[in-house]
Amino acid sequence: MASLHDSVRPEERVVREGGVAACYYYSNGLAALVLAPLGVAVLWLVSVALRILLTLGGAFPLDSRIVGLLALIPWLALLDVLGWLAYRFLEASAARYVLTDSRLLASGGFFAPSSTDLPLSGIRDVRATQPLLGRAFNYGSVIVESAETLGQTLLRYVSDPEGWAADIEAVHDPRPADVRPSVQPHGATPSPLRASA
């Protein structure tokens, strides 16, 4: 897939560009390092408990093949979790975003590459969201709703999602921020202080 910069027209000005925040990898990698051994320990205890129950219960005579299979459960689960994490990191590493003065360009997908070219004239709503770890490390997602795409464009795990949302709003509506209508979180009511100002 060609670079997003190849899609920028000569008359366009790049306002902001980026990809997945490095903090996303650090925070999720740290969580995986903590949770994966914990999960293996729990599954190991479950497999040991199953072996003990089956042996003491006497319902089934255990041969070495069954004991070996029960011992594999935690390691297979660990491989599954590590494979899922590798897939998530590869998909996230392929994401790139470019905001110009007239369009929002997004590309992503390691295994199934795709790209989006969204004219800013059709934007209806912009929202920024942050998960718990995202609030601590200042990363999150920006949801852009557009009339032209009849859906949402999602900028996943960008650094400073509030800044991205504000830049998209500013380019979409170039009036000064104090003249522009305030952007409210989805479903929020306008602040009485802002309305009276």
pLDDT score for 132: 85
Confidence of residue 142 (pLDDT cuts 50, 70, 90): very high
Domain limit, last residue, from 91, 118, 146: 91
Number of H helices, E strands in the chain: 6, 7
**107 compared with 150, residue with greater pLDDT:** 107
Residues 112, 181 within the same domain? yes
What angle, rounded to 10 degrees, do the helices at 22-57 and 64-93 form? 170
CATH code at 174? Answer: 2.30.29
**112 compared with 190, residue with greater pLDDT:** 112
Would 165 be classed as within a structural domain?
yes
Q: Where are the alpha helices (DSSP H) in 58-177?
A: 64-93, 132-137, 161-172
Domain encompassing residue 149:
13-21+96-185
Tally the domains of the chain: 2
pLDDT score for 185: 42
116-144 mean pLDDT: 87
- Between CA 124 and CA 121 the distance in angstroms is 9
- Between CA 139 and CA 173 the distance in angstroms is 24
Q: Express each pLDDT in 42-82 by its tens digit.
A: 877 877 777 777 666 665 566 666 667 777 777 787 788 78
Domain limit, last residue, from 91, 120, 145: 91
Residues 84, 137 within the same domain? no
**% pLDDT > 90, the chain:** 7
Domain limit, last residue, from 91, 109, 135: 91
Residue 182 near residue 124, CB atoms below 8 Å: no
For the cut 80, the answer to whether the pLDDT of residue 166 exceeds it is: yes
- Between CA 9 and CA 101 the distance in angstroms is 11
